Structure 1
Amino acid sequence: MIQIAFFGKGGIGKSTIASNVAASLAEKGLKVMMIGCDPKSDCTRNLRGDVEIPTISEVLREKVQASLEIDEFIYGKEIRPEEVVFEGYKGILCAETGGPEPGVGCAGRGIVIAVDLLKRIGVFDDFGPDVVIYDILGDIVCGGFGMNLRQGMADKAIIVTSSDYLSLYAANNICRGISRYAERGGTRLGGFVYNVRGALDDIELVREFSERVGSKILGSIPSSNEIAESEIYGQTIIQRYPQSKVSKIFNALSERLMEGDEPVRPRPLTSSELSSLAMRIRGRTKEDFTRRKKDAERER
Structure 2
Amino acid sequence: MLKIAIYGKGGIGKSTVTGNLAAAFAHLGKRVIQIGCDPKADSTINLLGGTVMPSVMGYIREHDAEPERLEEISRVGFGGVLCIETGGPTPGLGCAGRGIIATFRLLEDMELFDSFNPDVVLYDVLGDVVCGGFAAPIREGYAEKVLIVTSGEKMALYAANNINSAVENFADRGYAKVGGIILNRRNVPDETEKVEAFAKERGLSIVADIPRSDDINRFEDEGKTVIEGDAGLFVSRKFIELAEKLLDEEKL
Q: Give the TM interval when normalised to the shorter protein.
A: over 0.9
Q: How much does 1:164 deviate? A: 1.1
Superimposed CA distance per residue, residues 55-103 of structure 1 (whole angstroms, 9 cap, x where no aligned partner): 1001112232xxxxxxxx7xxx452110011100011100110001123
* Paired residues of 1:150 and 1:182 also in contact (CA < 8 A): no
Question: C-alpha offsets along residues 185-227 of structure 1, whole Å, 9 cap, x if unaligned?
Answer: 2221011000111342512221121121121000100010111
Which residue matches 1:289? none
2:47 alignment partner in structure 1: 47
Of 198, 201, 205, the residue aligned with 1:216 is 205
In the alignment of these two chains, the number of paired residues is 251
Q: Secondary structure at the match of 2:123?
A: strand
1:104-131 deviations in Å (ceiling 9; x for gaps): 2221232122022112112211111110
1:220-249: CA deviation from partner (whole Å, max 9, x where unpaired): 000101111000001000111211111111
Alignment of 1:183-262 (within 5 A): 183-200=172-189, 202-260=191-249
Counterpart contact for 1:112–1:148, Cα < 8 Å: no
What SS does structure 1 have at the residue aligned with 2:129?
coil
Partners of 1:79 and 1:26 lie apart in 2 by 27
Say whether 1:150 aligns with 2:139: yes
Could you tell me how far apart the structure 2 residues matched to 1:143 and 1:167 are? Answer: 21
Identity %: 45
Aligned-partner Cα distance in 1 for 2:241–2:211: 13
Q: Distance in 2 between matches of 1:157 and 1:35?
A: 14
Task: Tell me, yes or no, if structure 1 residue 35 matches structure 2 residue 24.
Answer: no
Residue 241 to residue 116, structure 1, CA distance change in 2 (3 Å): same
Structure 2 residue matching 1:183: 3-state secondary structure? helix
Paired letter, 1:182: A
Q: Counterpart in 2 of 1:282? A: none
> Retained in 2: the 8 A contact 1:45–1:52?
yes
2:85 corresponds, among 73, 81, 96, to 96
Which residue type is aligned with residue 144 of structure 2?
A: D
Q: d(CA) in 2 for partners of 1:193 and 1:125?
A: 30
Local SS of the residue matching 2:249 = coil
1:274 corresponds to: none
The RMSD of aligned alpha carbons is: 1.6
The correspondence for 2:154, drawn from 147, 165, 169, is 165
Q: Residue 185 and residue 113 in structure 1: after superposition, are their counterparts in 2 closer, same or farther (change >3 A)?
A: farther
State how 1:50-69 maps to structure 2 within 5 Å.
50-64=50-64
The corresponding residue for 1:268 is: none
- Please give the alpha-carbon distance, in whole angstroms, between the structure 2 residues aligned to 1:109 and 1:154: 18
In the alignment, the residues of structure 2 paired with residue 47 and residue 56 of structure 1 have an alpha-carbon distance, to the nearest angstrom, of 18
Partner-residue secondary structure (3-state), 1:11: coil
Change (3 A) 1:13 1:116: same
Say which one has the larger Rg: 1
Q: Structure 2, unaligned stretches of length 5 or more?
A: none
Amino acid at match of 1:234: G
- What is the TM-score with the length of structure 2 in the denominator? 0.95
Q: Is the Cα contact below 8 Å between 2:55 and 2:86 reproduced in 1? A: yes
Q: TM-score, normalised by structure 1?
A: 0.80
> 8 Å contact 2:2–2:250 — kept in the other structure?
no
